[in-house]
Amino acid sequence: MDPLDRIKRNKAFIFLYWCARIGMGITFIISGIRKLPGIKFTTLPIDNPVGAYFNAMYETGFYWNAIGYIQIIIGVLLFFNRFVVISSILMMPVVINIFLISIALYMQGTPIITSAMVLGNTFLITWHFKNYRSLFLRPID
């Protein structure tokens, strides 16, 4: 039995897995809804760097809405066992981008939350490593 199988049988890790999965799914759905047409993500003024960034993203229109729809889709897919592997992989670039933005804009406290999101997403990907490990362990022809 490999170490990952032992971890997956530990009740504390099973609880942590479900907390990460449900928490990330709900977070993505709520954050995605905030990007739908007509809804601004923040009410900060544009003289604030965070407000200016989110206002510029909001003003792009379709791109801002597309990010929201993608977040909603990924968040919903996390609740289905069939799609949890692909959704956790698709989520990683979005989560890393959110983390980097929170650092670049010096958002107070947000880097702590977004780093937890990166760790949670890494945990989900690691949990399902057997589903795609052949991509890394077999030579590509």
The mean-pLDDT minimum among 15-24, 32-41, 90-99 falls in 32-41
pLDDT for 127 beyond 90: yes
Q: What is the pLDDT confidence band of residue 139, given thresholds at 50, 70 and 90? A: low
DSSP letter string, 21-68: HHHHHHHHHHHHHTTSTT--S----TTSHHHHHHHHHHHTTHHHHHHH
pLDDT band at 138 (very low <50, low <70, confident <90, very high): low
For residue 1, what is the DSSP state? -
Round to whole Å and give the CA distance between 45 and 49.
9
Mean per-residue pLDDT for 59-86?
Answer: 92
Q: Under a CB-based contact definition with an 8 Å cutoff, are residues 23 and 120 in contact?
A: yes
CA atoms of 91 and 102, how far apart (whole Å): 17
Q: Does pLDDT of 131 surpass 90?
A: no
Answer left, alpha or beta for residue 140, where phi above 0 means left and psi between -120 and 50 means alpha.
beta
Q: What is the mean pLDDT of residues 84-106?
A: 93
Q: How far apart are alpha carbons 61 and 69 in whole angstroms?
A: 12
Closest CA to 114 of 136, 91, 130, 135: 91
Q: What percent of the chain has pLDDT over 90?
A: 58
Please state, in angstroms and as integers, the Cα–Cα distance from residue 1 to each residue in 6, 8, 122, 139, following that order. 7, 11, 22, 24
Query: What's the predicted TM-score (pTM) here?
Result: 0.85
Residue 79 has pLDDT above 90, yes or no: yes
How many angstroms from the chain centroid is the CA of residue 74? 8
